[in-house]
Amino acid sequence: MKLYSAAPSPFVRKVRILVMETGLSDRVEEVDAHITPINPSPSLNDANPIGKIPALATGDGMTLFDSRVICEYLDTQHQGAKMFPQDGAARWTALRRQALADGILDAGVNTRYETFLRPEEQRWPEWIDGQKGKIRRGVDALEAEVESFGDTVDIGTISAACALGYLDFRFPGDNWRDGHPKLAAWFEAFSARPSMQATVPPAG
Ligand SMILES: N[C@@H](CCC(=O)N[C@@H](CS)C(=O)NCC(=O)O)C(=O)O
């Protein structure tokens, strides 16, 4: 299988962590696809018409996107502990946590594009504030439920860890740990996992 990938992408990180946690590393080859909305890749666009990473060519003629679909597909490709609970409350809790974390990430990536890619004179402070509000409320919601994470490793907690890792990577000055002590402690412990250590985004 071929994963269109770039190490700074938090959505790619979700997939890479799931690959490691499920023992699929030998079956997934990474193809470098450093793109932005203003610097697309024709070969990625052929694989994913939306032009975003991650995308996964499964090797049997199918290309999957986005991270949620890829992760759920990969979870069917191994015999170990499942990252997507099969049914019941555990499944909906994991999927909701994933949606919450992905929402933080969407707002974070939008903010990054607005503050890094967009020419300074065209930037829109109110819009950035709106995105930062989504991030703040999302982190508050994670803090409110983090005690129920326990030592669960599933798509919900992997996604939460990727969201917090991205905030550290792109917005260290926002100090998300302030006022979120339980979440900070959980993230520190979760970050010790080899899959987290191996996928820390590169500086720069
Ligand atoms: N919902 C998508 C989001 C993926 C995403 O936003 N990827 C970013 C990189 S972090 C991207 O490819 N941006 C390029 C673009 O928007 O054109 C997922 O879960 O995979």
pLDDT in tens, 65-79: 999 999 999 999 999
By most ligand atoms within 8 Å of CB, the mutation choice from 3, 109, 158, 162 for ligand 1 is: 109
203 φ, ψ to 5°? -65, 150
* CATH classification at residue 106: 1.20.1050.10
The CA 2 to ligand 1 mean position distance, Å, reads: 17
Indicate if ligand 1 lies below 6 Å from the C-beta of 9: yes
Task: Look at the pTM and tell me if it is higher than 0.85.
Answer: yes
Indicate if ligand 1 lies below 6 Å from the C-beta of 68: yes
| pLDDT tens column, 137-152 | 999 999 999 999 999 9
At 13, list the tokens: 């990180």
Q: Tell me, yes or no, whether 59 lies in a domain.
A: yes
Both 179 and 98 in a single domain? yes
Q: Quickly list DSSP for 100-169.
A: HHHHHHHHHHHHHIIIIIS-GGG--HHHHHHHHHHHHHHHHHHHHHGGGGTT--SHHHHHHHHHHHHHHH
At 30, list the tokens: 């990474």
Q: Tell me, yes or no, whether 70 lies in a domain.
A: yes
